Amino acid sequence: MIEDLYVAGMVRNRHLARSISDAAMGELSRQILYKAKWHGVEVRVTNRFFPSSKTCSGCGDVKTDLDLSTRTYSCGTCGLAIDRDLNAAINLARWRPKEPSAVPLLALTRAALLSTA
């Protein structure tokens, strides 16, 4: 399971641009696809608008606002306080599509490898 991130939009943030560009997201996705094919594993992609960081992993409450500078997720409903990235990881691990056919399944092809390199 990987998140479909809007990298072009993230690069527009002048505070994050260099870090995002240095992260080599294309190479990471290429490697994930390659290793998944090697081991016979399907790779599914969550929608980029899925609120993985804004959803409480304890009770499911969704915050409307959450700044990037906020590194600890605090739920006003159940009182859970957890690292923002850990909270998002838990939500992504629990995520199941409403319709499996609606979720993109990445297939490893030569074209896909070349386009992400």
Whole-model pTM: value is 0.63
* Position 16 confidence tier, pLDDT thresholds 50, 70, 90: confident
Checking 108-117 for CB contacts under 8 A at 24+ apart, the result is 108/33, 108/34, 108/36, 108/37, 112/30, 112/33, 113/30, 113/33, 113/34, 116/26, 116/27, 116/29, 116/30, 116/33, 117/26, 117/27, 117/30
Summarize the confidence of residues 90-104 as an average pLDDT: 72
pLDDT score, position 106: 53
- What digits encode the pLDDT tens for the residues 59-83? 999 999 988 889 999 999 999 999 9
